[in-house]
């Protein structure tokens, strides 16, 4: 499954509605950027979509979900935990198989982090942690990517490099982005969220940055 049709999405926090009710159809091949100011509901919407399409998606949550006590390798390997038997995962905790080491290493190389393979996640910088969460999502290799501000801690060249990687590796994606230029350059469709509702839904090719700024 690489497309989905979601209706009646709604969420409340402390009795106050933060999302919806709204409907969102994502077609196979869509690369959707969710844009809007902080607090508009983008993170909540990513979470709601993930609840509906869980097993078919690779997730990069805003809090990253990194396990500090584990090495970079093991954090990335977690992307495929549910694809292996318990015995396999138990052995991997102590002595990873060569094929898995090679696959994870190749992903880290594409993110400029080869030397961190066995580093405990607790000692990583914010940008490095973000790249580990990106590697984990790539390793999961689902057809759909759901990502919440996946490049917020990365500098310009690395942010562009990662966005290229995500665009090329996932056929369908929904990515919450604060950077309007990245959204226009790497996504095919812009969905603007304002006060928990969809206030804009257009192909990127039809828009320039100034068309989006009313959301902020």
What band does 1 get if pLDDT is binned at 50, 70 and 90?
Answer: low
Distance CA 205, CA 212 (A): 13
Q: What is the reported pTM? A: 0.93
pLDDT in tens, 65-123: 999 999 999 999 999 999 999 999 999 999 999 999 999 999 999 999 999 999 999 99
User: What is the band of 39 on the pLDDT scale with cuts at 50, 70, 90?
Assistant: confident
Does an H or E element contain 88, and which?
helix 86-94
* Structure tokens that stand for 141 in this block: 């290799």
For the domain 4-215, what is the CATH code?
A: 3.40.50.300
Averaged pLDDT, 169-175: 96
Secondary structure E strands in 27-72? 31-35, 57-60
Q: What's the mean pLDDT when you consider all of the chain? A: 94
Query: Where do the structural domains in the chain lie, given as residue ranges?
Result: 4-215
């Amino acid at each position: 499954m690489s497309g989905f049709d979601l209706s009646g999405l709604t969420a409340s926090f402390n009795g106050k509605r933060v999302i919806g009710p709204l409907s969102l159809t994502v077609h196979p091949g869509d690369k959707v950027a969710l844009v809007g100011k902080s607090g508009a509901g983008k993170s909540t919407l990513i979470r709601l979509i993930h609840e509906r399409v869980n097993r078919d998606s690779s997730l990069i949550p805003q809090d990253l979900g990194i396990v500090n006590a584990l090495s970079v390798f093991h954090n990335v390997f977690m992307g495929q935990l549910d694809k292996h038997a318990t015995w396999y995962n138990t052995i991997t905790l102590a002595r990873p198989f060569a094929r898995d080491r090679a696959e994870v290493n190749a992903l880290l190389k594409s993110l400029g982090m080869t030397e961190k393979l066995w580093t405990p996640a607790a000692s990583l910088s914010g940008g490095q942690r973000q790249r580990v969460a990106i590697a984990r999502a790539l390793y999961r290799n689902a057809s759909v990517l759901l990502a919440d501000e996946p490049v917020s801690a990365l500098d310009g060249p690395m942010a562009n490099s990662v966005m290229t990687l995500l665009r090329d590796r996932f056929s369908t994606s929904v990515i919450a982005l604060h950077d309007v230029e990245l959204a226009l350059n790497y996504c095919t469709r812009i969905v603007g969220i304002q006060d928990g509702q969809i206030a804009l839904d257009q192909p990127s090719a039809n828009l320039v940055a100034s068309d989006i700024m009313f959301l902020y």
